[in-house]
Structure 1
Amino acid sequence: MPMLPDTLEVITLFVDNIDEAKAFYRKVFSPRIVYEDEVSSVLEFSNLMINLLQVTQAPELVEPMAVASLRTGASFLLTIRVDDADEVCARLRHLGVSLLNGPIDRPWGRRTAAFADPSGHVWEVAQVLKPAG
């Protein structure tokens, strides 16, 4: 039996500017807002919540570990499965979101494209490709 359950509930993203982050996530994802105050916004994504947290509030959550500098490069990638990557990318561009790459057919059977939020957190949309044949 594992020590911890395997139910991932919340991912907290430390953000430079909470107002800018809130506006970006509302525009791009239109999630249900579970909780919000002047330094955070908890957003519901089907079976997972994303907590946008002003980076100045992060130290108390991770002490004694230091909070990493934002925008120094990608350290993780959050992937959302979509039915049509090209359509989603067209909608993102229409919203003013710049793609980092893609859509690209990947050798592991996905068509993907990546974009970043205002604090540099990288998101990917991934469409499952049908096997050739």
Structure 2
Amino acid sequence: MAIEQGPLHHGSITQVTLVCDDLPASLHFYTELLGAEELYADDAWIVVRLGDFVVTVVTEREGRGLVSPTELGEAPGRRALLTIEVDDVDSVAEWLAGQGIVLLSEPSERPWGTRTATFADPSGHLWEIAQAR
């Protein structure tokens, strides 16, 4: 029996919203260290572009408002890993380290054939760089 594909099947994830502990540190991390393009920033929101992907970073107060009446999880919710595809994991990892970003895992080959490395933003959100196949 075939399962009918829903309307999200052809959609793309183009944005993620992260709740942060320190908005100025997050702005510095994403724009100054990662080189993301700042699209918007105020005292509660940051919106940056990394390639074709938008990252919105909000304060805890704003985050609670976005998910109300549901509660936010405990910080630093290391339950998700966001991946950025790159051409050369080793050179990007070296660049990240040069920016003062600590790698949580050094570049390595994964059993499924992809070379990856991981790091975290100031609020503990996990990021992975993965070599394009």
TM-score category (smaller protein): 0.7 to 0.9
Correspondence 1:36 to 2:59: no
Deviation at 1:3, TM superposition (A): 3.9
Runs of at least 5 residues in structure 1 that lack an aligned partner in the other structure:
none
C-alpha offsets along residues 83-126 of structure 1, whole Å, 9 cap, x if unaligned? 11111111111111111012111111111100000100000011
Aligned partners of 1:84, 1:9: CA distance in 2, in Å? 22
Deviation at 1:29, TM superposition (A): 2.2
**Any idea what SS the aligned residue of 2:19 has?**
strand
Runs of at least 5 residues in structure 2 that lack an aligned partner in the other structure:
none
C-alpha RMSD of the superposition:
1.7
Correspondence 1:8 to 2:18: no
Aligned partners of 2:59, 2:127: CA distance in 1, in Å? 19
**Any idea what SS the aligned residue of 2:24 has?**
helix
Aligned partners of 1:50, 1:79: CA distance in 2, in Å? 12
Aligned partners of 2:66, 2:108: CA distance in 1, in Å? 37
- Give the number of equivalent residue pairs: 128
Residue 49 (structure 1) aligns with: 54
Aligned partners of 2:15, 2:131: CA distance in 1, in Å? 24
